[in-house]
Amino acid sequence: MRIPGLELGKVLTARSALLAGIAAWAIFAMALMPAAAAPAAADPTPAPTAATPQQARGNIRLERLLQQEQKALAAEQKRLDQANKLISRIQDRINQMKSSGRDSSQLEAALSNFQNAVTSAQNSYDSAKEALDAHAGFDADGQVTDATAARNTLDTARKAMQQFRQSMNQAVKEFRAAGSRMVLDNRFVREQRRLSAEQRRLDRANKVVANTQAFIDKQKAAGKDTSGLETALDSFKTAITSAQGDFDSAKQTLDAHSGFDANGKVTDPVQARDTLRTVAKAFQQLNQTLGQAGKDLRQAIKDFRAASSDSKA
């Protein structure tokens, strides 16, 4: 005989056991499953998000700037190479001057200053190259990985390259100025030597006057008409007087040596150039005056001789 109450109790007991088993399995299964993702705001390492259009444009600009600075670095390396070649050539020139007993002190001082400036430029170049080689904020292909780090890289390289250009430009400027001073020094020495040469030329011109006058006196004693010769000689004497004035002007200017010190070294390039221009102009006038007067006198003597030959015939 079946007892309904008893059967119902078995069913309830079996059902409770089943539910308890399901609950236990669920708890075990949940322990094996990965923990549910926390809300985005609470995640300490959020997944990267796609760059906004503005950020993408900024990255492209940074990548282009990197390429530009890399090209600028290559150009700076060429400038350094050229500077070092120039240093080598100048040193060779100094060695030649020394071997020939010439004073190379000015050129040596200029070279020393130039070398110091090039060394400073080299240090700036190395700093720029180090920053670009490390390329923080960029990957190996020059693509931006961290915009902030990339900007820092470019800023470091830019400042170093700016310093490089300042150092090199200053070095070239100072070396050119030193070269210009040396040219002026050499010109001053040449003009002083030329002064002696022009004095000898004036002395020769005065001897020509004496010789021509003796020739005229001889021809006059022979009863010949020397009026043309006398006129030419008077013009030649006037030219000598004018040339002597030019000579004196040049000598006075050189003696004052404005823009140069007592040893003929430049103290003021502007004044030194004015001094040399004044002297050169005086010498030019002297040569033109004596040259034309001498030509006229020679022609007068030639004409006189030709006339004398005709009269004998």
Question: CA–CA separation, 160 vs 153, rounded Å?
Answer: 11
CB-based contact 282:246 (threshold 8 Å):
yes
For the chain, 313 residues long, the average pLDDT of each consecutive 10-residue run is: 40 38 36 36 45 84 92 93 93 92 87 92 94 93 92 94 92 90 92 95 96 94 92 95 96 96 92 96 96 94 85 58
CB 73 within 8 A of CB 129: yes
Q: Which contacts of 15-19 are long-range, i.e. CB under 8 A and separated by 24 or more positions?
A: none
Q: Where are the alpha helices (DSSP H) in the chain?
A: 4-32, 53-99, 105-134, 147-221, 227-256, 269-312
- Supply the pLDDT for residue 5: 43
| Nearest CA among 295, 303, 299, 294 for reference residue 224 | 303
Where do the domains of the chain lie?
Answer: 55-185, 190-312
Looking at residue 18, what is its pLDDT? 34
134-140 long-range contacts, Cβ below 8 Å, gap at least 24?
A: 135/66, 137/62, 138/62, 138/63, 138/66
Q: What is the pLDDT of residue 2?
A: 43
CA distance 5 to 70: 93
- Quote the pLDDT of residue 48: 47
80, 70, 174: which is closest to 123 by C-alpha? 80
CATH class of 190-312: mainly alpha
Which pLDDT belongs to residue 312?
61
Q: 208 with 147: CB under 8 angstroms?
A: no
